[in-house]
Amino acid sequence: MKRIFLTSIATSILLVGACRKAPPQFSAQDATAVRALFDSVVADIRGGKLDSWAGRFSEDARFYPANSPMLAGRAAILAWGKTLPPMESFSFADVDVAGDGNLAYGSSRVFLKMKGVPADSSKQLVVFRRDANGRWWVQACAVSTDLPMPTSAAPASPRVRS
């Protein structure tokens, strides 16, 4: 009796596992869709469409902008974006995307020039998540600048008393 019960349990587990729907594979079409998000971000930023830019982030996204604290959630990301000076130029280069199932990642170089601020080049790593409707959302994005770390003033030489 115990053996039949254990066999029934094992069979049930195998059947439930076999019935689980496998996540969709990350296809060339998915890579194209994720790469298109990079292009859309450039168009949004250049056009000053910050609501559209922030709308590409999931509600619970994390954004790690260079030289700023981490931002949690689409509303915080949008509010931060609205504090930036106007963009004079903005572009991505060397965009690379890959993925597995419902997760994808992309990396790129970032070139920007804001009004009244020196030009900057950076790099970014972006994590995307596909929802049940097949839409890709930015789940996390980290940007780090290529500008050198600021140097502190050299310490004053100790004065020698004579």
Residue 105 CA to residue 139 CA, distance in Å, equals 10
Q: Which amino acid is at 59?
A: E
CATH topology of domain 23-145: Nuclear Transport Factor 2; Chain: A, (3.10.450)
Per-residue confidence in pLDDT tens, the chain, 162 aa: 566 655 666 566 655 555 566 667 899 999 999 999 999 999 999 999 999 999 999 999 999 999 899 999 999 999 999 999 999 999 999 999 999 999 999 999 999 999 998 899 999 999 999 999 999 999 999 999 998 877 776 566 666 555
Q: Which of 77, 143, 138, 80 is nearest to 108 (CA)?
A: 143
Alpha carbon distance 154, 132 (integer Å): 56
**Full-model pTM:** 0.78
